[in-house]
Amino acid sequence: MIRLDEVTVRVATPGGDLVLLHPTTLSLTEQRVALIGSNGSGKSTLARLLNGLVEPSDGRVTVNDLDTTRDGAAVRRQVGFVFTDPGAQLVMPTCLEDIALSLRRSIKDKKERLAKAREILAEFDLADKADTSVHALSGGQKQLLALAGVLSTNPAILVADEPTTLLDLRNTRVIADRLFALSQQLILVTHDLDLALRCDRALVIDEARVAFDGAPADAVAFYRQQVTR
């Protein structure tokens, strides 16, 4: 379970302290939780708190009782993170090597690791791309590969920060169907309100606060009203 206890995030700027998240207490237990809200409202800040990419200035974030500040490495083994731009997380020259890199902790034998990496590529319809440069993939294929890499580490929770924003309609559907088929808990930051509606709970973030927290249909209605107000 993900818990935030009185969490505040502040950063020092030349103009003084800037609050990125006002004191927030919540627990996330639902299988699929959407974070929606305007640009710059604080969604990514909240998402990044969940795997320790951002640390609280005050308060505590815990994932299955692990503190993201104290036990950052252990938390990151439990919480996979998918970025909007898959290029940010594809680091090896070829697709096969990229997946193999993600498996290095779990499979020590290289031959076995490469065989497993091929298997994973096949599961994600990328079998024919094994020896292709990651840079030669289309945007949708890159996002699939990034997702495959993160899932190959077997995280208990997946946080995805606008994973479909750069994708066309077809690839949005491909990635979304993958995400919604997961047995893991999914925390999904999205501007795609149709995706938010498919979740079990949605938080509307506004001006560094959780402005609404509840059923996705109500959250989307709240957000729409807020924008037109």
Ligand X SMILES: Nc1ncnc2c1ncn2[C@@H]1O[C@H](COP(=O)(O)OP(=O)(O)OP(=O)(O)O)[C@@H](O)[C@H]1O
List the single partner that 45 binds among ligand X, Mg ion, none, CB under 5 to 8 Å by kind.
ligand X
Told to check if 214 binds ligand X by CB under 6 A, we report no
Sign of CA dihedral 140, 39, 159, 197: negative
In whole angstroms, the minimum distance from the beta carbon of 161 to Mg ion comes to: 6
Told to check if 18 binds ligand X by CB under 6 A, we report yes
Told to check if 190 binds ligand X by CB under 6 A, we report no
Token representation of residue 27: 């627990």
Nearest to 56 by CA among 14, 15, 6, 13: 6
Nearest to 161 by CA among 50, 63, 67: 50
In whole angstroms, the minimum distance from the beta carbon of 39 to ligand X comes to: 3
Told to check if 16 binds ligand X by CB under 6 A, we report no
List the single partner that 8 binds among Mg ion, ligand X, none, CB under 5 to 8 Å by kind.
none
> What number of other Cβ atoms are within 10 A of residue 183's Cβ?
7
CA 211 to mean position of chain CA atoms: 21
Cβ proximity to ligand X: between 14 and 111 the closer is: 14
In whole angstroms, the minimum distance from the beta carbon of 174 to ligand X comes to: 22
β-bridge partners, 13: 16
CA 94 to mean position of chain CA atoms: 23
Cβ proximity to ligand X: between 134 and 196 the closer is: 196
Told to check if 44 binds Mg ion by CB under 5 A, we report yes
> Which residue's structure tokens are 């079998």?
127
Q: Are strands 32-37 and 185-189 parallel, antiparallel or unpaired?
A: parallel
Told to check if 11 binds ligand X by CB under 6 A, we report yes
The separation between the first and the last C-alpha atoms of the chain, rounded to the nearest angstrom, is 35
Cβ proximity to ligand X: between 97 and 206 the closer is: 206
Stretch that binds ligand X, among 41-49, 74-82, 151-159, 211-219 (CB under 6 A): 41-49
Cβ proximity to ligand X: between 43 and 113 the closer is: 43
Told to check if 152 binds ligand X by CB under 6 A, we report no
Cβ proximity to ligand X: between 12 and 181 the closer is: 12
Q: Is 212 exposed, middle or buried (0-12, 13-18, 19+ CB in 10 A)?
A: buried
Applying CB under 5 A, the residues found at the interface with Mg ion are: 44
Applying CB under 6 A, the residues found at the interface with ligand X are: 11, 13, 18, 20, 37, 39-45, 205
